Chains A and B, each alone.
Chain A
């Protein structure tokens, strides 16, 4: 059972906008910043969004993040086939003195 809660799956057609939610608590998302990782099949996770809404260099503007209260959200606009991957939210947990992850959301591009 993951500390952060994500929907197990999401889907959309090319060009659509999809959002993935991430729910936590006051000891993690409520008091710290949210990060998102993309994991393509058979590869290591890749940083997609950090500090709630910051994109690392090279990440397309189609990807955006937000945080409100104890929840975070990842939005992907102009969905493309290469966006098909697993997406994980993460943040720091003050009670565990370490990072915590969501269970992951498998995004399917129909």
Chain B
């Protein structure tokens, strides 16, 4: 059974750093495109970052240069290192797995999501 479990959220001051983890089970994290999606309180979903099975990474403009996505295949865990945090980064952060298995990104969709971890940036 596929499961994604996030951890690492919490309260951090503006300008601070935090590392989120997403423990995956039921599939090898290295074989799938994986992503982070966030949801600010009362708002919609916003893509944050993705990592391809081959290791390529991409970031939303709002976090580029501040966030780093990575994975540890041996631990089957996805990470999101967040630095220079801003008030507007406050959100529930979800990790998600791509489900199509397609070589064409235009077909990508997230078939499994974690339960989310709350990051609050406040002084």
Contact = CB atoms under 8 A, between A and B. Distances in A.
B107 A46 contact: no
Contact of B110 (A32, A43, A47, A103): A47
Interface residues on B, range: 20 to 34
A110 interface: no
Given A46-B113, A47-B99, A37 B106 contact: no
Contacts of A90: 45, 109
Given A32-B106, A98-B60, 4 more contacts: A45-B113, A47-B109, A98-B49, A101-B37
Interface of B: 35, 37, 44-47, 49-50, 58-61, 94, 99-100, 105-111, 113-116
10 contacts: A33-B106, A33-B109, A35-B109, A45-B37, A45-B113, A47-B110, A98-B35, A98-B60, A102-B44, A103-B44
